[in-house]
Amino acid sequence: MRVINLTPHEVRVVDAQARVIRTWQSAPRPARVETDRVRLHVLDGIPLLSEERTRAANLPDPEDGVWYIVSSVVSSAHPERRDLLVPSDLVRDGKGVVTACRSFVITSGSAHEGAAARTPPRPPLPR
């Protein structure tokens, strides 16, 4: 399996002892979701906008044996994709800056359905 980082950040995965397991360099052309914003109202002097997100630019088509590391925003814009990995269980430094992750999540609906299909049924409750 190949994993390609499509984020503008280096992605570092660490284990429970904070040892680096794997690192992917930042993407020269990250996948990004664009937005269309429309001004709706002014609330106490603050603009209130409506935002519609579009499909991601620079996101390659699915390819057998390839996973893509993307932001949660990119993943949520493509719920049909099962090849998008989102860094999860984030590790932060003392200033709150993300320095690594401990896992990836797949946020597509079909991934949840697949996981549910692999989960054994729960036994009935006692009466």
What b-and-e string marks burial along 24-45, b requiring 16 or more CB atoms within 10 Å of the CB?
beebeebbbbeeeeeeeeeeee
107: domain range? 2-37+48-118
Whether 125 maps to a domain, the answer reads: no
Give ∠ CA 16-21-27 in degrees, rounded to 5.
Answer: 125
Whether 107 maps to a domain, the answer reads: yes
Whether 106 maps to a domain, the answer reads: yes
Overall domain count for the chain: 1
User: How much is the pLDDT for 118?
Assistant: 43
Whether 127 maps to a domain, the answer reads: no
Q: What does the pLDDT profile of the chain (127 residues) look like in tens digits?
A: 899 999 999 999 999 999 999 999 999 999 999 888 899 999 999 999 998 888 899 999 999 999 999 999 999 999 999 999 999 999 999 999 999 999 999 987 554 454 444 444 433 444 4
Whether 23 maps to a domain, the answer reads: yes
Whether 75 maps to a domain, the answer reads: yes
Whether 57 maps to a domain, the answer reads: yes
Whether 42 maps to a domain, the answer reads: no
